[in-house]
Amino acid sequence: MAALQGEEESEAQRKAQEREQKKAEVRKRLEESGKAGKKKKQGFLTPERKKKLRKLLMTKAAEDLKQQQLKKEQERQKFLAERTVSLPNIDGTDDHATLEKYYNELFSRLTKLEEEKYDILQIVQSAEAEINELTINVNDLRGKFVKPTLKKVSKYDNRFKKLAEIKKTEGQADFRKELKTVKKENVFTQLANKKKADQKPDWKAQKAAKKAADEKKEEQPKEEEVPAEEPAAEEPEEEEEEEDEEEEEE
């Protein structure tokens, strides 16, 4: 029994050691692969290589541009050589027939070139008109319109210009047009307002009338105490008081 237990323990230890060895191998392999990947990434495109590549691209583009320009110039010279004709030497010729022949040849060639030029211009104009129509149709379909360039103008400048134009046309500018309109009262409205003002109660006159009435009440018992022989003398005083009261009421 003890021997069996010892064998099982040794077997378990052996399996554990194998497992640890496998883990170490896998870890080592992963580390090596990671290091190799990092090295490759660093050495793929360094700043120096980028600089060199940019320089090469610039030189290549400059060479291509030079070649294109040279090719265009060669085509131009070839076209001019085909179209132009060398002029004849007429310094030593006095014959009228030969001069007339040269003249007719040059004139016929010139007319032919003018006809070709006119045809080419007509083709170009028709193509431009077609392009404009197509662009207008495209803008209509898209719903986008080209906004016109507006000029900034001050409103005060416009006002002064208008005043100057009015002064030129009418002789003198009418500044009353610029003034605000004020509401004018009619004659009837003025009379109605005056009537309303007259209808206001005069508190001073009412107070004076009340005072006169109180004085009159106080004088009535005094007249009863006076003998009957002297009423004639008091009548003018009463009349004067009544006149004073009437004047105060007025």
- Domain membership of residue 72 as a residue range: 53-84
Neighbours of 226 (CB within 10 A): 11
Among 23-27, 148-152, 193-197, top mean pLDDT goes to: 23-27
Within a domain: residue 48? Answer: no
- Residue 213 Cα to chain centre, angstroms: 83
- pLDDT reported for residue 57: 94
- Cβ density class 124-162: b for 16+ within 10 Å, e for less: eeeeeeeeeeeeeeeeeeeeeeeeeeeeeeeeeeeeeee
Looking at the fold, whether 79 and 112 belong to one and the same domain comes out as: no
pLDDT bracket for residue 234 (50, 70, 90): very low
Within a domain: residue 181? Answer: no
Within a domain: residue 214? Answer: no
Give the chain's length: 250
Total number of domains constituting the chain: 2
Q: What are 88-115's pLDDT values in tens digits?
A: 777 777 788 888 888 898 899 899 989 9
Taking 50 as the threshold, does the pLDDT of residue 211 lie above it? yes
Looking at the fold, whether 100 and 77 belong to one and the same domain comes out as: no
Looking at the fold, whether 102 and 72 belong to one and the same domain comes out as: no
pLDDT bracket for residue 31 (50, 70, 90): confident
What value does the mean pLDDT of the chain take?
Answer: 76
**Residue 109 · residue 85 · CB < 8 Å:** yes
Looking at the fold, whether 74 and 102 belong to one and the same domain comes out as: no
